[in-house]
Amino acid sequence: MNYVYVSMAFNRLGKLAKHRDASPRHLVQDEAFTGLLRLARDFAENGKFGCQGLANTTHGIAKLHDAGPLKATDGRVDVALAALETAAVQMAPDMTSQGMANTVYAYGTLGRMPGDETWAALETAAVRVAPDIKP
């Protein structure tokens, strides 16, 4: 599975989480899901995600957290989010307005303040893409 499919999987799971009757339960206990988290962490750590994939993955995890089947404080989730945050610092200069907005939205939804370096990188990206943001 490559980074595109990992990103797509988190995005689809996040959308599925909106429908509580169809939402997966106990994700961190699922071996396949923990494997998906490991792949996300590894791709983030190795610079394999593109900007959109990074934003979609972080956003998908946030939607799963918001819907309830996933807690951002779970050790495996926290490790993956830390790797995604580190990658966000490197990718922020190339993020589109959509990617920047999805990433910032994810942190708000997670109730997780990114580190100072990440926040500064996202703030700089927000200023850069502000003219392109759709209301």
- Token look-up 């994810």 returns 106
Note down pLDDT in tens along the chain; length 135 residues: 788 899 899 888 888 877 766 555 667 778 888 999 999 999 999 999 999 999 999 999 998 888 877 888 888 899 999 999 999 999 999 999 999 999 999 999 999 999 999 999 999 999 999 998 877
Q: Greatest CA span in the chain, whole angstroms?
A: 43
Question: Which amino acid, 135?
Answer: P
**Paired tokens of 73:** 């404080």
**Paired tokens of 80:** 């993956």
How many Å apart are CA 61 and CA 13, to the nearest integer? 8
How many Å apart are CA 119 and CA 97, to the nearest integer? 15
pLDDT of residue 48: 92
**Paired tokens of 132:** 């392109």
pLDDT of residue 25: 63
**Paired tokens of 32:** 């396949």
